[in-house]
Amino acid sequence: MSFEQLTPTMPPRSVDTLKRATIPQLPQTGDLLAQIGNTPLLDLNHFARGLGVSARVGVYGKAEWLNPSGSVKARAALWIVQEAERTGQLYPGKILIDSSSGNTGIAFALIGAIKGYEVHLVMPANISQERKALARAYGAKLIESDPLEGSDGAIRLVRQMVAEQPERYFYANQYNNPANWLAHYQTTGPEIWQQSQGKITHFVAGLGTTGTFVGTGRYLKERNRHVQLVALQPDDELSVIEGLKYLPTAIVPGIYDATLVDHHLGIDAEETWAMTRRLARQAGLFVGLSSGAAMVGAIQVAKEIEEGVVVTLLPDDGSKYVSLGIFDRD
């Protein structure tokens, strides 16, 4: 018996019938951008106990590297793009441009790839090779700024470029764009409140663009004015911690609201590196330097209180920092 005889015959379908056929919709699916947000809140109590934190204090970390693009910045980048589209500032033919030390730029590049926008990123020349490679992988054009001027130098250069050709660009302006903090007011804050069952007593987060701290903190304060908001930054201008700013000598973001801060903590760079390695080796968390700094701050806060629930935010994973040698040390 031939193969043809075993194959059931089906009536031929016309081209018109095929054109009218619809793609089946499957449950639990959606486009990539719809997956931004709703990251898990990880229980870090066993790790915290090993560092001397009381059993009456809970320590939790929000796993933001699980966002598409690999960081918390996907939230703000998406809201900035959607708001620019809604208000007519961004449309096909406009180039999206911004300064970034890495994560927001990578998020813009991913969103641009999906939506069809050309993306130009001004980045300090000394950021890690991994971050440059990721931005290029999504098709972004990189313009490198003076490495000695850090993120402030990138801000100054992008402002100059936009001033010279304003009609060419949509300037995302993450440091001054209210859509940055609104993303966290509308998503990160409510998620933490719900995931902690409203029991959070302390929110600990680093200051970079300040959008995460401001938006999340503003929401949490509205739900419970007694929640303590702890802001982290390097302990001096010579301490370099990727993703964090030392605000006393930096260009202060326009979206920053200093009145929200209940406590400031200065974080040591060497302690940050050590904590980043410890998280990988003792907790199985392969995270980046800003996550290490966040955990340094969270543990310090947890040790200073008698009871409570400390929640911090872990912005990204460690894959963008391998070339820096963080994980090569003992």
- What tens digit of pLDDT does each residue of 90-102 get? 999 999 999 998 8
pTM recorded for the entire structure: 0.89
Dist CA 4 CA 115 (whole Å)? 45
Residue 212 has pLDDT above 70, yes or no: yes
Which one has a higher pLDDT value, 325 or 47? 47
Report how far apart, in Å, the C-alpha atoms of 316 and of each of 47, 93, 102, 220 are: 19, 31, 11, 22
Out of 46-55, 61-70, 125-134, 203-212, which region has the weakest mean confidence (pLDDT)? 125-134
Note the pLDDT of residue 187.
98
Give all strands (DSSP E) within the chain, no chain letters: 41-43, 57-63, 95-99, 118-124, 141-145, 169-171, 202-206, 228-234, 263-267, 308-314
Residue 256 has pLDDT above 70, yes or no: yes
Q: 32-70+181-328 and 73-171 share one CATH topology? A: yes
**Residue 290 is among the residues annotated as catalytic for this protein:** yes
Note the pLDDT of residue 24.
66
With cut-offs at 50, 70 and 90, classify the pLDDT of residue 329. Answer: confident
Residue 193 has pLDDT above 60, yes or no: yes
- CATH number of the structural domain 32-70+181-328: 3.40.50.1100
Which one has a higher pLDDT value, 15 or 81? 81
- CATH number of the structural domain 73-171: 3.40.50.1100
The catalytic residue among 73, 132, 245, 320 is: 73
Q: What percent of the chain has pLDDT over 70?
A: 92
* Phi/psi-derived region of residue 28, left when phi > 0, alpha when psi is between -120 and 50, beta in every other case: left
Residue 319: CB atoms within 10 Å: 15
What is the rounded average pLDDT of the residues 304-329?
A: 93
Q: Give the residue from 316, 323, 321, 319 showing the smallest Cα distance to 70.
A: 316
The catalytic residue among 145, 290, 291, 320 is: 290
Note the pLDDT of residue 132.
93
Number of H helices, E strands in the chain: 12, 10
Radius of gyration of the chain (CA): 23
Take residue 9 and report the two structure tokens written for it. Answer: 């015959």
Residue 21 has pLDDT above 80, yes or no: no
Helix (H, G, I), strand (E, B) or coil at 37: coil
Average pLDDT, the chain: 92
Which one has a higher pLDDT value, 250 or 299? 299
Domain edges within the chain = 32-70+181-328, 73-171
Note the pLDDT of residue 9.
46
Dist CA 158 CA 172 (whole Å)? 10
What is the rounded average pLDDT of the residues 6-18?
A: 47
Q: What percent of the chain has pLDDT over 90?
A: 81
Helix (H, G, I), strand (E, B) or coil at 298: helix
